Amino acid sequence: METKAAIEAFAALAQETRIGVFRLLVQAGPNGLSAGEISRQVGVPASTLSHHLATLERAGLLRSWRVQRQIFYASDFEGTRRLLAFLMEDCCQGRPELCGSGFADAAACEPDCRDR
């Protein structure tokens, strides 16, 4: 990941509603949630939420798709892995295992890793 892309991702997460949406969608897994369900769960009107979802998607942290009239959103696990790898690539003089297993586990997490 390039520094500019990492900055965009961090900027997207640096807002209370967006980080809440991101965490909700990470928990939801690869099937994601509809925009309406996200709106209900985070308590943000749909008109306001669409801006936040677009910001997260442009930053490479979410993906979206349409099913008839509904738009669904899910975490972009590959984009999230790239961001985590960017943070940890120079850890401990090139030895990220020294930084603790949490970082290595998070970077390796597959979309269904919670089920393991």
Report pLDDT digits (tens) over 55-108.
Answer: 999 999 999 999 999 999 999 999 999 998 888 777 777 666 676 655 555 545
| pTM for the structure as a whole | 0.79
- Banded pLDDT at 114 (limits 50, 70, 90): very low
Q: In terms of residue numbers, what domain contains 95?
A: 78-115
CA distance linking residue 43 with residue 81, whole number of Å:
28
Torsion angle of C-alpha atoms 22, 40, 55, 106, degrees rounded to 10: 10
- Same domain? For 25 and 40 the reply is yes
Query: What is the total count of domains within the chain?
Result: 2
CA distance linking residue 83 with residue 66, whole number of Å:
26
- Same domain? For 102 and 88 the reply is yes
- Which residue did the predictor score with more confidence, 39 or 1? 39
- Same domain? For 95 and 44 the reply is no
- Same domain? For 28 and 67 the reply is yes
CA distance linking residue 23 with residue 82, whole number of Å:
17
